[in-house]
């Protein structure tokens, strides 16, 4: 039976967005939480970008040690041979890639401005795919940027060429959030039926339909007999009005009418991490979670009006479609109201011992304590905000990789 998988692109689409950014340790923590959530793949960054190199290599080391495993970590690059060369030079352990190139007439004339026509787009892409395979890539996704505004026959040719060159998936990019559930269903169904290649849905929220459009596209792919991979971001963070929100997409596949029981979601997905991950991303991006955010907002399970309260208390199914416990909600959070010792970029060893003591972490000797202190200081330099407990624990557990990912040399 064909399935719906999730590829989260927070560490790529999310961080390339205006006003948004993440420190390398924060990107790593997001990969860590996504892995705990059973997410199939994280598009973890840009192997051509120099300041990403140490972070990407450190995360691949963590993957080798099974810390970031079984999640797949995939790099995003342009589908041109020189980017492929550079990527594998910078990040030799790269196994999963997504190669991106524009396919619509608008982009080819408006962006390439005569430097490339559609035939050349296909040639660049297939050369890049071949080169990736030569360099040892295990899976290759090919992104058709602006697919939703691409002539469908041309898109079918493009996907057919990618398949001929053994690409594993085609990413249907609704780059401008232009599709509606009706149009994407028809287009993706036709594409998947003709080419028989698994389809990724990459949908933006410019018309407020990113989740709906992603779902319709995934349904079309499965109806046409291929697997679907929905691209999401945590809290919907992404270019302009954002991408399809991770938690919303999972809940929609699990509980949406006509989806539940008919279409199979990757069974490794476990929503228990949802609350924690959404709040971590909110803290890391410095973007508050809206009160009415799906599943993880303050009001998602709040009831005040008489009729609703009465109904919800009699039987939660009267006014709740799914349970808060499933999303990892319901635990009481302890907030320190008295003295608080924090670790900052100028902290000393006493502060370190106090903070880690509360987390029940003991150091073997002074040397180890000093090493962790140094890493915590540098992490603060990167983040410019206090470290959270999970980050502190992560630093103490994986000092070698943390040291590498904190190293940024221009």
Residues engaged in binding Zn ion (CB under 5 A): 13
Residue tagged 């396919």 (tokens): 103
Q: What residues are paired with 230 via a beta bridge?
A: 6, 201
Nearer to Zn ion, 172 or 378 (CB): 172
Least distance CB 243 / Zn ion (angstroms):
6
Q: How far apart are CA 213 and CA 203, in angstroms?
A: 7
Nearer to Zn ion, 214 or 380 (CB): 214
Name the closest residue to Zn ion (Cβ).
13
Q: How far apart are CA 198 and CA 176, in angstroms?
A: 22
H-assigned helices in 322-398: 349-358, 366-383, 389-397
Least distance CB 150 / Zn ion (angstroms):
15
Nearer to Zn ion, 203 or 300 (CB): 203
Nearer to Zn ion, 12 or 276 (CB): 12
Q: How far apart are CA 31 and CA 224, in angstroms?
A: 31
CA 366 to chain centre: 38
Nearer to Zn ion, 57 or 148 (CB): 148
Beta-strand (E) ranges in 115-198? 139-145, 169-174
Least distance CB 178 / Zn ion (angstroms):
13
Report yes or no: 342 and 355 within 8 Å, Cβ to Cβ.
Answer: yes
Neighbour-count burial for 116-146, b at 16+ CB within 10 Å, e otherwise: bebeebbebbbebbbbbbeeebeebbbbbbb
Least distance CB 152 / Zn ion (angstroms):
20
Nearer to Zn ion, 34 or 327 (CB): 34
3-state class (DSSP) for residue 352:
helix
Report yes or no: 25 and 269 within 8 Å, Cβ to Cβ.
Answer: no
Least distance CB 109 / Zn ion (angstroms):
21
Least distance CB 4 / Zn ion (angstroms):
19
């Amino acid at each position: 039976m064909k399935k719906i998988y999730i590829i989260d692109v927070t560490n790529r689409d999310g961080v390339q967005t205006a006003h948004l950014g993440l420190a390398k340790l924060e990107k790593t923590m997001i990969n860590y939480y996504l892995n705990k959530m059973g997410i199939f793949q994280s598009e973890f960054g840009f192997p051509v970008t120099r300041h990403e190199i140490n972070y990407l290599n450190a995360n691949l080391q963590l993957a080798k040690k099974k810390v970031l495993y079984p999640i797949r970590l995939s790099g995003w690059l342009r589908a041109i041979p020189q980017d492929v060369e550079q990527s594998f030079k910078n990040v030799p352990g790269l196994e999963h890639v997504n190669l991106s190139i524009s396919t619509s007439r608008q982009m080819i004339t408006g962006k390439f401005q005569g430097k490339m026509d559609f035939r050349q787009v296909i040639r660049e892409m297939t050369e890049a795919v071949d080169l990736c395979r030569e360099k040892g890539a295990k899976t290759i996704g090919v992104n058709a940027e602006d697919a939703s505004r691409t002539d469908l026959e041309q898109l079918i040719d493009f996907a057919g060429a990618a398949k001929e060159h053994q690409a594993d998936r085609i990413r249907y990019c609704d780059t401008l959030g232009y599709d509606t559930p009706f149009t994407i269903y028809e287009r993706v169904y036709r594409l998947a039926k003709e080419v028989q290649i698994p389809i990724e849905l990459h949908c933006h929220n410019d018309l407020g339909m990113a989740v709906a459009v992603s779902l319709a596209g995934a349904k079309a792919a499965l109806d046409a007999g291929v697997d679907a991979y929905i691209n999401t971001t945590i809290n919907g963070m992404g270019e302009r009005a954002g991408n399809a929100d991770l938690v919303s997409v999972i809940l929609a596949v699990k509980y949406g009418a006509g989806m539940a029981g008919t279409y199979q979601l990757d069974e490794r997905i476990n929503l228990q991490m949802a609350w924690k991950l959404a709040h971590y991303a909110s803290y890391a991006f410095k973007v508050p979670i809206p009160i009415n955010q799906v599943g993880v907002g303050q009001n998602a399970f709040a009831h005040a009006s008489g009729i609703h309260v009465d109904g919800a208390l009699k039987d939660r199914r009267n006014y709740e479609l799914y349970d808060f416990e499933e999303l990892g909600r319901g635990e009481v959070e302890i907030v320190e109201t008295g003295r608080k010792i924090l670790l900052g970029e100028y902290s000393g060893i006493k502060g370190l011992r106090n903070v880690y003591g509360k987390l029940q972490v003991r150091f073997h000797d002074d040397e180890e304590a000093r090493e962790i202190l140094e890493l915590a200081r540098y992490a603060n330099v990167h983040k410019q905000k206090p470290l959270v407990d999970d980050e502190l624990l992560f630093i103490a557990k994986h000092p070698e990789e943390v040291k590498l990912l904190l190293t940024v040399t221009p």
